[in-house]
Amino acid sequence: MQTQNIIKAKDYLIEENNKNENECAVEMDDDDVILHIFGDQPDYNNPDFEKLWSEFSNKSVSEISEYCLSQGVDIMNGDNPVVKFRDIAVMLKAIEIGLLELKQ
């Protein structure tokens, strides 16, 4: 039986101290999760990426979560998806279909 390593997108959220020293808020630039996982962002000037976005734009969070998990990425942060969860799905699909290549 082969085991699959899962990347948890929530682990790539950048935590910064809130103004109140006793609290910590999760804040991030919208693209930080994408850049930390993939080292790049989807190029929506490319019509192929735009088509992939369209493919995921009408899917539910649960459908996208299921797809991402099947590709090795957990997009959930508790009960909610991380910011840019659809972009994560687009990047995974781009890799799957050969639009992007992972650098070794």
Higher-pLDDT residue of 12, 77: 77
Confidence at 103, pLDDT banded by 50, 70, 90: low
Any idea what DSSP says for residue 46? S
What single string gives the DSSP state of each residue in 50-102? Answer: HHHHHHHHTS-HHHHHHHHHHTTEE-EETTEEPTTHHHHHHHHHHHHTTSS--
Q: What is the pLDDT of residues 32-74, one digit of tens each?
A: 788 888 888 899 999 999 999 999 999 999 999 999 999 999 9
Interhelix angle for 47-57 vs 85-96, to 10°? Answer: 120
Number of residues that make up the chain: 104
pLDDT at 25 over 60: no
pTM above 0.85, yes or no: no
